[in-house]
Structure 1
Amino acid sequence: MKNFGLHDLRVVRPRDGWPNPLAVATSSHAADLLEAARLYDSVEAAIADLDRVYAATARTRFMHKPFVTSKQVAGDICSGLVPVALAAAATAAAEGPADATDVAARMPRAGLMFGRESSGLTNEEVALANKVLTIEANPVYPVLNLAQAIVCVSYELFHARAYGPEGTDAAASAAAASSSAQSTQSPLTGNGGSTSGTPLPASASGVAPGETSASLASATTSVTAAWPAVASSAEDLRRRAAGAAAQQQLQPAPRGDLDNFVRRLVGALDESGFFESTDKRPATELSIRNLASKVEGLTRGEVALLHGMLSKLTAAAEVTAARRRAEKAARAEAAAAAAAAEAGAAQEAGEDAAAGGQ
């Protein structure tokens, strides 16, 4: 991690306890990372403050979840998280001055989740991630040990910070040579000069806030791969992703399908008494629809699952409501019976008193 500028290490239920003297003994000059590591009792707790999580796995059983390769992960972080953070930072800057701490707090955080040395991540742990992260390797033997996997991904992130998410070694070298010839700043500089790349977020992957990837605008050399194509362990993922749309349940859901679900949801909320204030209902309903409009990428099967969950919830609510009505009616009937018995007893007592008076 330290070789490639990553700093935020999070450990979930370490098998041999923590701190571990063996880890310190083999850490060389990176013991400070071990000392600063944060311990958690669950994966959910470890990723709770992150905006996006990538689960590293060589298995292909998670095709229902979006995937990126180690080469693509930096660009995916930049395109998916950073623009929103920059817009928020710009809005805050317009409202008033902000110090570095405020800016860091607004930057999104992405985390890379790696599994156990022996068995990797479980299905349940992968399900907690937003995307699957795969390292392209020989499909005959794509499995790497934990240290190798972390090094591969860490290097790609470091490389993207130095040369831009889309840069290659050759293109970066050309940019550096061109930049040097024009007496401009070196692409390895990350905080000023002519750098104009997209900043990577402060994250569990160790990217510091405020650092930018270098611009490759000065690179004029077109680099063409001269090596013959080789098979990759990610090819199976790509084939399955390309064929997934042919299956009805994995086809992207039309916007109308989600709108139908939102209408059902609003109706169910109305019946449950969620809209307590008539005056505030239009604004609340608009907020619900705006929330739904932010959801993208759902499949037909996933929208059907939402409908199924809502049906079960509403059915359960109807059963509960019916039980409560029955209990209320039973209580009212019991109260009426008790009142009638009390009235009868009073009447009998009155009659006895009248008879005694005579």
Structure 2
Amino acid sequence: MTGRDGGAAIGPTTENSPVIILVRPQLAENIGTTARAMANGGLFHLRLVAPRDGWPQERAWYASSGAHRILDAATIYETVDEAVADLHRVFATCPRPRHIIKTVMTPRNAAADMRLTEARHLRTGILFGPERAGLDNEDMARADTLIRYPLNPDFMSLNLAQAVLIMAYEWWMAADNTAPHVLMTNETQVASKGAIENFFGNLTRRLDETGFWRNVQKRPGMIRNLRHYFQRGEITEQELRTLHGVVTELSRTAEQSVAAKAAQGNAHEGQPDA
């Protein structure tokens, strides 16, 4: 099929990563976008239970945005029992509890539980129901745990790929160590406190020279405010160099202006009286 050509070089990120199981999926495009969502979160194993229009379907590859290998490796089952037979833990997404006595987790807690299960070299699977109605009671009876998404109670509608993406994201984040906050400095780096103090000394000296502190009594407080400003964030060395240049240029311009006024005044004084 033309839709299978190319695709990203993706594969299983871990040996026992969760299996995504689509139960009676209806549209090929939704299977394709599910593969795309899986790839975003490092999931690879896809199982299809009785897809309505059969399998394979070329439209799925077109919709996967390059996640072709997930679709190439997808396996087909006639029943949910067959699809989960080799798994050790099974989760099922459940938008609306239906009088079932079973543990219910958020996607985040479920993902953490799956990571612990994976560390024990056991395999997990997540059941997702048909697009129109979701899993029925018989499907959920095959699961150990239900997953319910804590969304806006007035509008909890998700399409299939969105539901899978939330779980894929939480799975990925459960083992991710990305810093929650980082300053992108590109080719420069964060300036040291000494470099900042050097700049601040230059700034203060220039302000003294230009007579900025017209109210001498307020000078200490104004200096503290300026110091707080420059110490508040992570100023880079490049930014300090720019600020040094700004201060130097402003001082030079001010000196030239004073000199020009003085010269003009001297010229007037040298003119003979009318």
Q: TM-score, normalised by structure 2?
A: 0.50
Question: 1:173 matched to which residue of 2?
Answer: 180
| Alpha-carbon shift at residue 78 of structure 1 (Å) | 3.7
Specify the structure having the higher radius of gyration (Cα): 2
Q: Does 1:54 align with 2:91?
A: yes
| Alpha-carbon shift at residue 62 of structure 1 (Å) | 4.6
Question: After TM superposition, where is structure 1 displaced by more than 6 Å over at least 4 residues in a row?
Answer: none
Name whichever of 62-71 and 10-19 sits farther off.
62-71
Deviations 1:246-280 (A, max 9, x none): xxxxxxxxxxxxxxxxxxxxxxxxxxxxxxxxxxx
C-alpha distance in 2 between matches for 1:174 and 1:124: 45
Question: 1:228 matched to which residue of 2?
Answer: none
C-alpha distance in 1 between matches for 2:130 and 2:56: 17
Question: 2:52 matched to which residue of 1?
Answer: 15
Aligned AA for 1:173? P
Question: 1:114 matched to which residue of 2?
Answer: 128
Give the match's secondary structure for 1:23.
Answer: helix
Gaps of 5+ in 1: 86-106, 164-168, 182-358
| Alpha-carbon shift at residue 69 of structure 1 (Å) | 0.5
C-alpha distance in 2 between matches for 1:146 and 1:112: 13
| Alpha-carbon shift at residue 75 of structure 1 (Å) | 1.8
C-alpha distance in 2 between matches for 1:48 and 1:14: 18
Indicate how the Cα distance of structure 1 residues 126 and 174 shifts in structure 2: closer, same or farther if over 3 A, else same.
same
Indicate how the Cα distance of structure 1 residues 75 and 13 shifts in structure 2: closer, same or farther if over 3 A, else same.
same
Gaps of 5+ in 2: 1-37, 185-189, 191-274
Q: How does 1:1-358 map to 2 (within 5 A)?
A: 1-79=38-116, 81-82=117-118, 85=120, 107-163=121-177, 172-173=179-180
Aligned AA for 2:164? I
Total equivalences in the alignment? 148
C-alpha distance in 2 between matches for 1:119 and 1:36: 27
Give the match's secondary structure for 1:22.
Answer: helix
Aligned AA for 1:131? T
C-alpha distance in 2 between matches for 1:176 and 1:134: 35
| Alpha-carbon shift at residue 174 of structure 1 (Å) | 5.4
Indicate how the Cα distance of structure 1 residues 78 and 151 shifts in structure 2: closer, same or farther if over 3 A, else same.
closer
Deviations 1:301-338 (A, max 9, x none): xxxxxxxxxxxxxxxxxxxxxxxxxxxxxxxxxxxxxx
C-alpha distance in 1 between matches for 2:155 and 2:91: 22
Q: Which has the higher contact order (CA 8 A, sep 6+)?
A: 2
Indicate how the Cα distance of structure 1 residues 61 and 33 shifts in structure 2: closer, same or farther if over 3 A, else same.
same
Indicate how the Cα distance of structure 1 residues 37 and 62 shifts in structure 2: closer, same or farther if over 3 A, else same.
farther
Question: 1:225 matched to which residue of 2?
Answer: none
| Alpha-carbon shift at residue 161 of structure 1 (Å) | 1.8
| Alpha-carbon shift at residue 140 of structure 1 (Å) | 1.4
Give the match's secondary structure for 2:105.
Answer: strand
C-alpha distance in 2 between matches for 1:31 and 1:174: 34
Indicate how the Cα distance of structure 1 residues 176 and 116 shifts in structure 2: closer, same or farther if over 3 A, else same.
farther
Task: Check whether the contact 1:65–1:132 (CA below 8 A) recurs between aligned residues.
Answer: yes
Task: Check whether the contact 1:62–1:132 (CA below 8 A) recurs between aligned residues.
Answer: no
C-alpha distance in 2 between matches for 1:150 and 1:139: 19
State percent identity of aligned pairs.
39
Deviations 1:44-66 (A, max 9, x none): 00001111011001112255100
Task: Check whether the contact 1:57–1:121 (CA below 8 A) recurs between aligned residues.
Answer: yes
| Alpha-carbon shift at residue 36 of structure 1 (Å) | 0.6
Give the match's secondary structure for 1:161.
Answer: coil
C-alpha distance in 2 between matches for 1:3 and 1:62: 34
Deviations 1:167-188 (A, max 9, x none): xx8xx425999xxx9xxxxxxx
| Alpha-carbon shift at residue 17 of structure 1 (Å) | 0.9
Indicate how the Cα distance of structure 1 residues 13 and 67 shifts in structure 2: closer, same or farther if over 3 A, else same.
same
Give the match's secondary structure for 1:10.
Answer: strand
Deviations 1:170-226 (A, max 9, x none): xx425999xxx9xxxxxxxxxxxxxxxxxxxxxxxxxxxxxxxxxxxxxxxxxxxxx
| Alpha-carbon shift at residue 25 of structure 1 (Å) | 1.5
